Amino acid sequence: MSTRGQASLFGEGEGERDIRAEPAAAAPPPVRDGRSPESAVTVSELNEAARGTLESRFGNLWVRGEVANWRVSPAGHRYFSLRDQDRDASVSCVLFRGDAWRLPADPDAGMEVFVQGRPTLYPAQGRFQLRVRSIEMAGEGLWRIAFERLRRRLDAEGLLAADRKRPLPPFPRRIGVVTARKGAALQDVLTVLRRRAPWVDVVVRNCRVQGEGAALEVRDALRRVAEWSALGPGSTLDAIILSRGGGSTEDLWCFNEETAVRAVAESPVPVICAIGHEVDVTLCELVADLRAPTPSAAAELAVPDIRRVRDSLDTTGRGLALGLRRFVTRGRDRVDAIGRRLPAAAGHVRDVAKLRLEGVEKRLPPGIDRALARSRARLAGLAATLAALSPLETVARGYAVATDLEGRRLTRVEDFEPRTRFRLRVRGGRVDATADAVESET
């Protein structure tokens, strides 16, 4: 009696073998190979087996086609189809979020692309699909499209305009550096700053400069440096250097992402940006206040060279000393010339003053007499006017003037009431009186 060994799904057994010498054992479970109703497999087993066959048969491969039905899920996955228009064929594709972050821009419908992925089967629905790991176009297609889309939007907002670029101070005291702490760019910047401007304080903020999430770290680093600068005069930054070394387009791409680009544009401190090599141009560099071709060049632009400063000071000092000597010499010459002209000038001034005094002396008596005559005439007129208006003149002419007990004149019938006490000023003295009755003339 013989039996077959247990077979794997869709596979054959291990062949017949003699078991007469072996002790009796429990009957093995029935083989589920799908060859009979009794050995039927489940749907999930079928799908898993098909997926395994597909993935082991093909592995990773490049597929060319036109993009259609592009959709981004709330979780960040990309679902789309690749079409072969010539043969009217299509295949469903999925680009999961863990790989989608490398994508610089979503391709447009109808765009021909090359995708790298593995054919597989979605077990839950038995749907054949291509699990994509990367998408490319000829040359720098998607990278260039993403770059130009954001560049045009920034340009429309005026963020690329030259008139918004801020000048750097000629002699900065404190410089901020935003880059990877372990990168070569930081060492290049520090070396140049120490050599050219050893008096400058350097504040370093570490961040990743490539990979998923690097743009967010660049943004946060710029914001924290700016916040630190705003704490007070003792921490104020004069400029910020944002930099990293060279790399591929993908390596440098975080400096083209809108998150990092807008952080550079919104920085309250002037930003010098140096990303990659001289031929590399990123959007962060375009919106920065100053662009440098390399990290070392960014440091050179940020600070003056102490040797040139010393040479300039020496030249200025020599020029100042020469100018002072010339000024003193010219001043001495002018003093000497004035001293030579002083006796003659003094005699002339004395003669002129003497003539003027003599003229004033001649005109003074007649002028004083005329002024006194005019004053006397005016005084006489005023005295006559006062005499005519004086109550005493009225009394002298035989009239009486009524006043209240405080001396205020009473001139109208309304000033009197029955039994009002008042005084009469008459020629030769005063008379106290009382009003017995008051009558108004109608």
CB 31 within 8 A of CB 12: no
CB 78 within 8 A of CB 39: no
Q: Is the overall model pTM greater than 0.85, yes or no?
A: no
| Domains in the chain: ranges and CATH | 44-138 (2.40.50.140), 172-307 (3.40.50.261), 393-434 (no CATH)
CB atoms within 10 A of CB 220: 15
Tens digit of pLDDT at every position of the chain (442 positions): 333 433 444 444 433 344 444 555 555 666 677 778 877 888 888 888 888 888 788 888 898 888 888 899 998 899 998 888 777 888 899 999 888 887 777 887 778 888 889 898 888 888 888 999 988 876 567 778 888 889 999 999 999 999 999 999 988 999 999 999 998 999 999 999 999 989 999 999 999 999 888 999 999 999 999 999 888 888 899 999 999 988 888 888 899 999 999 999 999 999 999 998 877 789 999 999 999 999 999 999 999 887 776 766 667 777 777 777 787 778 777 877 776 766 666 667 777 777 777 777 677 677 777 777 787 778 777 766 766 666 666 656 667 778 888 878 887 878 888 888 888 888 778 888 888 887 777 6
Residues 220/226/232/234 CA torsion (nearest 10 deg): 100
CB 207 within 8 A of CB 154: no
- Give me the helices (H) in 203-292, please: 214-229, 258-265, 283-287
| Per-residue b or e along 170-197, where b marks 16 or more CB atoms closer than 10 Å to that residue's CB | eebebbbbbbbeebebbebbeebbeebb
Burial zone of 228 (CB within 10 Å; 0-12 exposed, 13-18 middle, 19+ buried): middle
